[in-house]
Amino acid sequence: MTQINAETGARVRRVTIVDVAQHAGVSTASASKVLRNAYGVSEAMKQRVQASMDALGYRPHRPARGMRGRTFTLGLLVSDIENPFFSLIADGITSVVRSQGYELLISPGGYDAGSQNAVIDALIDHQMDALVLIGPVVTGADLERIAGEIPLVVVGRHSRSAALDSVSGDDELGSALVVDHLVALGHRRIAFVANQQDSLEPDRPESVRLAGFVEAMARHGLAESAMVVDSRWSLTGGHEAARVIAETAEAVTAVFAGADVTAFGIMSELWERGLRVPDAYSLAGYDNSRMTSIGPIDLTTVDQSGFEMGETAGRLALERIGGRTESRHVLLRPRLILRSTTRSVAAGG
């Protein structure tokens, strides 16, 4: 693509490192060393080259850098860019890597393993220096393969792989916080809305939250009155779950939705039936996404501190790029956010 200047009709040629070197009267090798802050350049040389770079408005060409060294770019896989939680993570990553000259490029990979794998490959083909994957649905074997090709940090999977790093919330604890809260309010018959998966990777948050729910209920001696509704963590999944729950013979008094978006679907379905939360039953979500706090919603939920997760993921990625090969697996502590959708069973919900 040779771009033409709209006004003058002249071609706009990029300023290259050769231009900088000529302007400064040094070799390109020296200019490169200054650019990379490499070892073995005199202070005087550094000053001169830096001055030329500024004067010419030099900006290194990333693909060219990537052909030999680094692109100074991290790739981020998300399923869908509209998830506010992902946005927090992205901001967290950016906040720690930007100061090191790194930037972040994001690619939406959809919700199935096939398309996610394709997008991951594309990110690798772009010569990213490292990859951060948020809640990937690909298999553990896929992750191992990817980690063999590029430094890899996975967010939201409770991995124990030796080949990659992971950072996630303690979803088991998160579920326990919700159950403990509901039980303290007097609830006994509690439903959990599970996210049905095609491939059941045990380290996915869906699996861990479900396990945490089951275990917490058992701990309270409530294994018998625990109900698991298989659905999807989506708006429509929430609607469906609410319909299933409505048809249950023994009515539950509280529902733990597993994810905020599912809770929104449930609220919406109840609303259409003329029912209200927490009058119909108490309701809790998971994620503390932005809309949970607005008045008409005001949903009890679990906060995962996405920004901090992002910071951690960014730091881990930089360490990997820097040469670390032993794996790190970080678990962050979730917090229960109490709002008005959960209340004492005595109050009738």
The residues binding DNA (CB under 7 A) are: 13-14, 16-18, 25-30, 32-33, 35-36, 38, 40-42, 44-45, 58, 60-61, 64-65, 67-69
257 contributes a contact to a copy of itself by CB under 8 A: no
Chain positions 168 to 197 lying near a copy of itself, rule: CB under 8 A, are none
| β-strand pairing of 301-303 with 335-337 | antiparallel
Residue 78 sits in the site that holds a copy of itself (CB under 8 A):
yes
CA separation for the pair 317, 132 (Å, rounded) = 8
Q: In this complex, which beta carbon is closest to DNA, that of residue 56 or of residue 211? A: 56
Which among 29-37, 54-62, 208-216, 243-251 is the span making contact with a copy of itself, rule CB under 8 A? Answer: 54-62
Residue with Cβ nearer a copy of itself (105 or 184): 105
CB of 234 to DNA, least distance (A): 38
When the beta carbons of 185 and 261 are compared against a copy of itself, the nearer one is 261
Q: Per CB under 8 A, which region of 38-46, 56-64, 171-179, 309-317 contacts a copy of itself?
A: 56-64
In sequence order, what are the beta bridge partners of 6? none
SS (H, E, C) the chain: CCCECCCCCCECCCCCHHHHHHHHCCCHHHHHHHHHCCCCCCHHHHHHHHHHHHHHCCCCCHHHHHHHCCCCEEEEEECCCCCHHHHHHHHHHHHHHHHHCCEEEEEECCCCHHHHHHHHHHHHHCCCCEEEEECCCCCHHHHHHHHHHCCEEEECCCCCCCCCEEEEECHHHHHHHHHHHHHHCCCCCEEEEEECCCCCCCCCHHHHHHHHHHHHHHHCCCHHHEEEEEECCCHHHHHHHHHHHHCCCCCCCEEECCCHHHHHHHHHHHHHCCCCCCCCCEEECCECCHHHHCCCCCCEEEECCHHHHHHHHHHHHHHHHCCCCCCCEEEECCEEECCCCCCCHHHCC
Q: What angle do CA 64, 66, 69 make, to 5 degrees?
A: 115
Note whether 188 and 253 are within 8 A (CB).
Answer: yes
- Applying CB under 8 A, which of residues 36, 46, 62, 243 lies at the interface with a copy of itself? 62
Q: Given the structure tokens 């670390």, which residue do they identify? A: 324
Among residues 38, 81, 223, 251, the one that binds a copy of itself under rule CB under 8 A: 81
Indicate which of DNA, a copy of itself, none lies near residue 29 (CB less than 5 to 8 Å, by partner kind): DNA
For tokens 């030329």, name the residue: 52
Partners of 165 in beta bridges? 153
Closer of 25 and 114 to DNA (Cβ): 25
80 contacts which partner out of DNA, a copy of itself, none, CB within 5 to 8 A by kind? a copy of itself
CB nearer a copy of itself, residue 38 or residue 223: 38
Q: Is 111 in the site for a copy of itself (CB under 8 A)?
A: no
Nearer to DNA, 36 or 329 (CB): 36
Binding part of the chain for a copy of itself, among 21-29, 70-78, 211-219, 245-253 by CB under 8 A, reads 70-78
Binding mask 132-171 for a copy of itself (x = CB under 8 A): ------------x--xxxxx----------xx--------
Q: Rounded to whole angstroms, what are the CA distances from 291 to 228, 239, 264, 287, 288?
A: 25, 18, 9, 11, 8
Our CB check for DNA shows the closer of 66 and 84 to be 66
Residue placing its CB nearer to a copy of itself in the complex, 259 or 267: 267
Which residues, 281 to 340, sit near a copy of itself by CB under 8 A?
290-291, 293-298, 321, 325
What's the min distance (Å) between Cβ of 22 and DNA? 11
Name the site residues for a copy of itself (rule: CB under 8 A).
1, 3-7, 12, 59-64, 66-67, 70-71, 73, 78, 80-84, 86-87, 90-91, 94, 103-108, 119, 121-122, 125-127, 129, 144, 147-151, 162-163, 235, 264-265, 267-272, 290-291, 293-298, 321, 325
